């Protein structure tokens, strides 16, 4: 296989990488995308599916032809239950915005199809990916293709959108990068089940037994979670035991009952927050989980990745078309401003809604007081709605 030359080499063909590739294509900027996963692996992996309003607007970009408005579902709020008492939040009434339920794998299908229509290359199932010469104006991405052929992509810039386990973050020297990390003292026990939705919006529930989230995936498949110790063994939980526990955590005087069905997947998800700074080094730029991860309580993971791309894409265009290197020089400082806002909101939602086994009685009651302060205040409810639906995207670097 001959060596390839392009404007931007993108490591990671998930939604963030493909969204970036599409925005660059629309601006006349060429790219090559590589990923160690197969197309089918990405398309069938179920991940978070709540989109902020600004993320939906990105999917409306010409040429994507997203199904978000036909196959997705608009949600005009969430329901926060505290000891079985519901506190519904009406997002349009509070902040004039909504969110959309649209699974991440479906976003990938839309973006992969849009990428295919451009005719530009995407290499799936590559191995031995490494980044070379990221300090230079001609960085390279090297890998082995699915056919066993060596692949070298030489670009002006490289973008690492390859997740928390990819090689891009490690290509920033340890002497340059800082890693901020926090691990929570609990995990989520998650299930996928074949059942109709239990409620028209997501339910976030805090009770003496711990947190539960009644989420959705489609009209026939639902995603639900409950707080559990990090060392929980999936094999210890029968279907009956899971349904009993979930129902106990949403039980209330209104008689609310979950709609149940066969459980088709069980998993335990550890809870961590992490941020890498800076999100750039030389000709390398990080986006999405390669730079930061958040607990899913605030529904910020994919939305943060799209927000990174909203900043990075126009900066790359300015650098490549207008020789404006200053735009890229300020990418990390601009992107991390939103990252830390999202980290704070995700941390706040997590600490307010979970029972912390390591907390003293004062902290346990204090967190309930914080939750009550927000839910019983018009300003507090508006703040929560604003954070959940998302802040406006920054598309121009100051």
Residues that are catalytic: 75, 204, 296, 300, 388
Q: Please list the residues that pair with 223 across neighbouring strands.
A: 192
* Rounded (10°) CA dihedral 37, 40, 41, 44: 150
Backbone angles phi, psi at 49, to 5 degrees: -135, 25
User: Judging by DSSP bridges, how do beta strands 210-214 and 140-144 pair with one another?
Assistant: unpaired
| DSSP-derived secondary structure for 14-77 | SHHHHHHHHHHHHTT--EEEE-SS-HHHHHH-----EE-HHHHHHHTSTT----TTTTSEEE-E
CB atoms within 10 A of CB 161: 31
Nearest-angstrom CA–CA distance, 12 and 35? 5
| Residues ≥6 apart with Cβ < 8 Å to 25 | 31, 63, 118, 120
CA dist 304 → 75, 286, 341, 397 (Å): 19, 12, 10, 16
The rounded radius of gyration (Å) of the Cα atoms in the chain is 22
Tokens of 133: 């010469």
Backbone angles phi, psi at 126, to 5 degrees: -80, 160
Instruction: Look up residue 195 and give its DSSP letter.
Output: S
Q: Which residues of 221-252 are buried (b: 16+ CB within 10 A; e: fewer)?
A: bbbbbbbbeeebeeeebeeeebbebbeebbbe
Cis peptide bond N-terminal to 318, omega within 30: no
């Amino acid at each position: 296989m001959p060596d390839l030359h392009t404007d931007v080499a993108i490591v990671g063909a998930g939604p963030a990488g493909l969204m970036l590739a599409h925005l660059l294509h629309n601006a006349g900027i060429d790219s090559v995308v590589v990923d160690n996963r197969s197309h089918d692996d990405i398309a069938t992996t179920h991940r978070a599916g709540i989109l902020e309003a600004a993320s939906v607007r990105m999917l409306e970009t010409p040429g994507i032809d997203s199904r978000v408005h036909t196959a997705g579902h608009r949600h005009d709020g969430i329901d926060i239950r505290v000891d079985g008492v519901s506190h519904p939040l009406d997002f349009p009434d509070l902040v004039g915005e909504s969110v959309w339920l649209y699974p991440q794998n479906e976003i990938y299908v839309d973006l992969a199809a849009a990428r295919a229509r451009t005719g530009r290359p995407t290499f799936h199932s590559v191995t031995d990916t490494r980044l070379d010469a990221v300090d230079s104006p001609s960085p390279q991405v090297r890998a082995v293709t699915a056919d066993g052929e060596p692949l070298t992509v030489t670009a002006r810039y490289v973008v690492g959108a390859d997740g928390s386990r990819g090689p891009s973050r490690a290509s920033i020297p340890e002497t340059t990068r800082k890693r901020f990390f926090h691990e929570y003292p609990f995990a989520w026990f998650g299930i996928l089940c074949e059942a109709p939705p239990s409620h028209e919006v997501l339910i976030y529930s805090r009770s003496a037994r711990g947190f539960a989230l009644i989420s959705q995936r489609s009209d026939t498949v639902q995603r639900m979670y409950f707080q559990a110790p990090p060392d929980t063994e999936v094999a210890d939980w029968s279907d009956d035991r899971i349904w009993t526990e979930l129902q106990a955590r949403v039980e209330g005087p209104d008689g609310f009952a979950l709609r149940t069905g066969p459980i088709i997947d069980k998993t335990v998800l550890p809870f961590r927050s992490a941020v890498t700074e800076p999100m750039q080094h030389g000709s390398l730029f990080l986006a999405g989980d390669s730079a930061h991860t958040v607990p899913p309580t605030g529904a910020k993971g994919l939305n943060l990745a799209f927000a990174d791309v909203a900043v990075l894409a126009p900066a790359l265009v300015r650098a490549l078309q207008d020789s404006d290197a200053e735009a890229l020089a300020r990418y990390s400082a601009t992107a991390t401003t939103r990252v830390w806002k999202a980290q704070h909101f995700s941390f706040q939602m997590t600490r307010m809604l979970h029972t912390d086994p390591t907390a003293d009685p004062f902290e346990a009651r204090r967190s309930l007081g914080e939750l009550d302060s927000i839910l019983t205040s018009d300003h507090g409810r508006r703040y929560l709605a604003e954070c959940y639906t998302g802040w406006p995207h920054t598309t121009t670097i100051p």
